[in-house]
């Protein structure tokens, strides 16, 4: 009994381009026919505006079910601000956030909490059900860290490109991982 999961990163938008802690706003245009899920694939989305807009732009429909566990990291008082602004005002806080997985100097969710939340969602997926999820880049990085059994520090070493696909397959807590595949018509 194998779990099959494709995680799709959202399309580019102003917040991603500016390294801003924000997951809303319109996304840049998505080419038609970029993604056609196979029959029987369960489709879900992060609750973020960026992911829901990407799901709709990909033709997955306006009413894709939301998986709250796929929400991006809660950034507290840093939400809506750019990383360079926060770094200039609170270099010690940013340093703690980048080096201590339990730190939450922004008053939101710690990296450790994000990693745990995503790991719990992955391990609860039903076997023999294929899932396609449009998810925030930090959620995809957290899934990759969990799949590899890597330390939390590996989270900061992974890049997730807009409109890329990361595929996980496995069972009983043992995962195989394919990172950064471009989307194509036969996805899912």
Structure token digits, residue 185: 């018509």
Domain boundaries, the chain: 3-76+112-182
Give CA separation, 150 vs 65, 72, 139, in Å: 30, 20, 15
Q: Which fold has domain 3-76+112-182?
A: Rossmann fold (3.40.50)
What is the predicted pLDDT for the residue at 6? 95
Helix axis angle for 111-123 and 137-148, nearest 10°, is 70
Q: Which residues of the chain have pLDDT under 50?
A: 186-188
Q: What is the pLDDT of residue 117?
A: 98
Q: What's residue 84's pLDDT? A: 95
Q: Report pLDDT for 186.
A: 45
Report pLDDT for 135: 97
pLDDT for the residue numbered 7: 96
171, 127 in Cβ contact below 8 A? yes
- DSSP secondary structure code for residue 128 in this structure: T
Q: Which pair of structure tokens corresponds to residue 97?
A: 């956030």
Instruction: List phi, psi (to 5°) of 13.
Output: -150, 175
pTM: 0.93
| Distances, alpha carbon 65 to alpha carbons 52, 56, 85, in Å | 9, 12, 34
Residue 101 DSSP code:
T
Q: Is 134 exposed, middle or buried (0-12, 13-18, 19+ CB in 10 A)?
A: buried
pLDDT tens per residue, range 88-124: 999 999 999 999 999 999 999 999 999 999 999 999 9
> What is the per-residue pLDDT for 187?
46
Helix (H) or strand (E) holding 43: strand 42-45
Instruction: State residue 38's pLDDT score.
Output: 80
Give me the torsion for CA of 119, 115, 117, 94, rounded to 10°: -170
Three-state DSSP at 5 gives: strand
């Amino acid at each position: 009994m194998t779990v099959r999961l494709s995680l799709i990163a959202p399309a580019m938008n102003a917040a991603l381009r500016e390294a801003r802690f924000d997951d809303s706003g319109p996304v840049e245009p998505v080419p038609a026919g970029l993604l056609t899920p196979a029959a029987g694939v369960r489709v879900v989305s992060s609750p973020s505006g960026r992911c829901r807009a990407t799901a709709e732009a990909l033709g997955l429909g306006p009413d894709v079910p939301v998986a709250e566990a796929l929400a991006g990291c809660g950034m507290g008082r840093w939400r809506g601000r750019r990383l360079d602004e926060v770094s200039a005002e609170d270099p010690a806080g940013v340093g703690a956030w980048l080096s201590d997985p339990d730190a939450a100097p922004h008053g939101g969710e710690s990296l450790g909490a994000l990693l745990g939340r995503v790991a719990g969602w992955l391990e609860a997926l039903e076997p023999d059900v294929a899932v396609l999820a449009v998810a925030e880049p930090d959620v995809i990085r957290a899934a990759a860290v969990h799949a590899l059994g890597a330390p939390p520090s590996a989270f900061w070493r992974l890049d997730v490109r807009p409109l890329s696909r990361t595929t996980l397959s496995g069972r009983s807590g043992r995962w195989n991982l394919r990172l950064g595949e471009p989307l194509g018509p036969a996805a899912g």
